[in-house]
Structure 1
Amino acid sequence: MPGWASAAVWVAVAIIAVSTTSYLTGLPELTASGTVQSAVRLGIPILLAALGGLWAERAGVINIGLEGMMILGTWGGAWAGYQWGPLAGLVAAAVFGAIGGLVHALATVTFGVNHIVSGVAINLLGAGTAIYLATLLFEPVSQNPRQSPPVPKFDTYSVQPLSGWLQELEDMQRVGLSDLAGILGGLVTGISPLTMLAYLLVPVSYLVLWRSPFGLRLRSCGENPKAAESLGVNVYLYKYSAVIMSGALAGLGGAALILSPGQPGYLENQTNGRGYIGLAAMIFGNWRPGGLLGGAALFGYSDGLQLRSGETTVHALLYTAALVLLAVVALQVWRRRWFSAGIAASVAAALYAVYWYTDELPEQLTAYTPHLVTLVVLAAAAQRLRPPAANGEQYRRGAG
């Protein structure tokens, strides 16, 4: 089965599982259009950070500094957005993130610093720089060193009359049909230009990286830089280009946090680990644009659900996960992989037991739902991952 067809099947399985859970538990919030809108809004920063990680790591540079580049993007976007409007904020966020990428490229590509060490340093540098600049420039205006003044936002749009029809169908509360209408309605209602840009960047990244000579050369730097060098590829140039682009995309992810509706502007610690979750979404997607889109959607949905609906609906996700694992069991039995089928069945039974014997999850646990989902998903996907062969290796021109 082609990769796109397999992905479509699993998306359908997930939608059916969530719809079934919504019906059996009496929780329409699981598929409500408002929940999906929140999931889209919260998933966009993760998606952009994941795309940033994809560009860098396809060129062979591990970019664990996505979090720091996002932080720089939040400050740059808030500063320029407050001064000149949301479009200027978007451009400034990309520029500030690209500066973080440039520093990371300088350390790893030119000076050969360990990629993980450099990434951690970028995270610390980004956070410290944002705090300093916020105290210097925002405090005189907002009277608060941890927060910017209100920043203008992009307008939002809805696809009419489709959005209205889907809302009417959702309100009817028909099993399955209203669930699908709620999911589709959330995708076509309250869309901002930044949302459209983020989704457009997914196929653009695929076309550039997999369907262009530039992308072929860039990916060759991540697979075998010495072979690429022998064919005349300027490995340093491509690595620099990829990491700077990675920082710009992460900066746009930071802009999504301050230019989205419902956010006043820059806040200290606003990213809350979304750069790391974006990195996890990229790994979950096996370093492919379509796969990381699915990872961002999963993490955005879990985040949006716990913010909108709280402990009860997050508790119902245990039921959903058990249903999805039953589909995994059926697939493994069909493939005659009895051990994998047994493991999946055991985990499904454990999740259902937790759901059956508890009424809700502790508030302290649901607050970290996206982070827990990240750990579980990465553990489940670890067996099928295939990173670029030379990812994280130090490269020296003419060596070896």
Structure 2
Amino acid sequence: MILLLQYTLIFASVLMLVALGGCFSEHSGVINIGLEGIMVMGALGGALMMKFLPGTTSAPVMLLAVVLAAVALGAVYSLLLAVAAVNFKADQTLVGTAMNLLGTAAATVFVKAMNTAESVDNVSSVIQYIEAKKAFLVNIGGFEFNWFMLLALLALAASYVTLYKTRFGLRLMACGEHPQAADSVGINVYKMRYAGVLISGVLGGLGGIVYITAGVSEWKFENGVAGFGFLALAVMIFGQWKPTRIALAALLFGFFRALGNVYTGFDFLKALDLPSSVYNMLPYIISLVVLAFTSRKSRAPKAEGIPYDKGQR
């Protein structure tokens, strides 16, 4: 039971971080389908930092350096969407899809090239971080607390305050609802949309490194992030683009994802004699069912996905 709670919280943290990132982007008016690719890039940045930092690095420094590397690479990668969507008014769905394909492919090629340079016999896309991962964990009475859980909670509180209690957040949401009206009162829609996409890159990159360190001590980048970027989009939609609801949706989806890791510990689940793949599929099946019944009532930002034309009224 403790293990189920542990995995539920860590997977919920991943989904919440990435979904909050998508929430900021869409509130600014830009659909970010590329969260999957951003997660991969964030995971790559954090994994490289864990690989190359000295083993004697203290836990706080390790945590800070890994987080900074993940969010920096995630933010830089998200600039592809910002430039394409804001400056060139490209189709945001197509750009996001391309980012997902490019992210996994680029990370795989880079890691293979790096491993080959270190050893001719090693052409895998795996990065190990066995010792470095220990910096994120604290054992509390059998429960393995991960500092990323606390970061996710802080990100949730910061997102709520930013969106609803600050001038920046209100302006951001105005750009996603009625950009022409926002522009008429002096709000720079282009800058706000850049800010929304960059924030999604920061949170998506952080979600990526949290995901790959959730249960293993090495990651094969050919696997990407197993559709968690799209699952986070489902969490965001189910949560109605509101941080508190997103957190609750993340817990629900995180619970079903955690079952895939620990179902063997429950006799009544073992008695069903279902393949492990069925439990791994559960969060995706649940997302389809939930969206089928709730998407009709969803209220997305009115101007999301629509390129802003300053001359249009």
TM-score (norm 1): 0.71
Q: Is the 1:58–1:219 Cα contact (8 Å) retained in structure 2?
A: yes
1:274 aligns with 2:243: no
Deviation string 1:288-331 (CA, Å, 9 cap, x unpaired) is 00111111111111111122115977969xxxxxxxxxxxxxxx
Report the number of matched residues.
301
> Equivalents in 2 of 1:212, 1:373: separation in Å?
35
1:93 aligns with 2:70: yes
More strand by share: 2
Q: Which amino acid aligns with 2:300?
A: P
Written as runs of structure 1 = structure 2, the 5 A alignment for 1:43-62 is 43-62=12-31
Q: Is the 1:311–1:363 Cα contact (8 Å) retained in structure 2?
A: no
Structure 1 equivalent of residue 56 of structure 2: none
Which of structures 1 and 2 has the larger relative contact order (alpha carbons within 8 angstroms, sep 6+)? 2
> Equivalents in 2 of 1:313, 1:367: separation in Å?
18
Secondary structure at 2:125 match in 1: coil
Q: Which amino acid aligns with 1:83?
A: F
Q: Is the 1:65–1:122 Cα contact (8 Å) retained in structure 2?
A: yes
Alpha-carbon distance, 1:65 to partner: 0.3
1:80 aligns with 2:49: yes
66-75 or 40-49, which deviates more: 40-49
Deviation string 1:128-187 (CA, Å, 9 cap, x unpaired) is 21112111223444724220133512342356xxxx5xx8xxxxxxxxxxxxxxxxxxxx
- Out of 274, 284, 297, which is 2:251 matched to? 297
> Equivalents in 1 of 2:11, 2:195: separation in Å?
28
Structure 2 equivalent of residue 175 of structure 1: none
Structure 1 equivalent of residue 59 of structure 2: none
> Equivalents in 2 of 1:95, 1:64: separation in Å?
19
> Equivalents in 2 of 1:314, 1:373: separation in Å?
20
Structure 2 equivalent of residue 216 of structure 1: 170
Change (3 A) 1:313 1:102: farther
Alpha-carbon distance, 1:86 to partner: 4.0
Q: Is the 1:310–1:366 Cα contact (8 Å) retained in structure 2?
A: no
Change (3 A) 1:36 1:116: same
- Out of 121, 126, 132, which is 1:147 matched to? 126
> Equivalents in 2 of 1:125, 1:314: separation in Å?
42
Alpha-carbon distance, 1:87 to partner: 2.8
Deviation string 1:14-38 (CA, Å, 9 cap, x unpaired) is xxxxxxxxxxxxxxxxxx1211101
> Equivalents in 2 of 1:193, 1:311: separation in Å?
25
Off by >4 Å, runs of 4+ in structure 1: 310-316
Alpha-carbon distance, 1:211 to partner: 0.7
> Equivalents in 1 of 2:14, 2:118: separation in Å?
27
Alpha-carbon distance, 1:365 to partner: 2.7
5+ residue gaps, structure 2, are 54-61
> Equivalents in 1 of 2:268, 2:95: separation in Å?
36
Change (3 A) 1:94 1:392: same
Structure 2 equivalent of residue 284 of structure 1: 238
Q: Is the 1:139–1:148 Cα contact (8 Å) retained in structure 2?
A: no
Alpha-carbon distance, 1:42 to partner: 2.1
Deviation string 1:319-374 (CA, Å, 9 cap, x unpaired) is xxxxxxxxxxxxxxxxxxxxxxxxxxxxxxxxxxxxxxx94444443331111111
> Equivalents in 1 of 2:118, 2:283: separation in Å?
34
Q: Is the 1:312–1:361 Cα contact (8 Å) retained in structure 2?
A: no
> Equivalents in 2 of 1:113, 1:49: separation in Å?
23
5+ residue gaps, structure 1, are 1-31, 168-188, 317-357
> Equivalents in 2 of 1:266, 1:41: separation in Å?
19
> Equivalents in 2 of 1:94, 1:371: separation in Å?
26
> Equivalents in 2 of 1:121, 1:155: separation in Å?
32
Change (3 A) 1:311 1:50: same
CA RMSD of aligned residues (A): 2.2
Structure of greater Rg: 1
Q: Is the 1:131–1:146 Cα contact (8 Å) retained in structure 2?
A: yes
> Equivalents in 2 of 1:314, 1:291: separation in Å?
31
- Out of 79, 94, 116, which is 1:117 matched to? 94
Q: Which amino acid aligns with 1:46?
A: L
Written as runs of structure 1 = structure 2, the 5 A alignment for 1:1-400 is 32-84=1-53, 85-141=62-118, 143-150=122-129, 152-153=132-133, 154-157=135-138, 189-260=143-214, 262-265=216-219, 267-310=221-264, 359-400=272-313
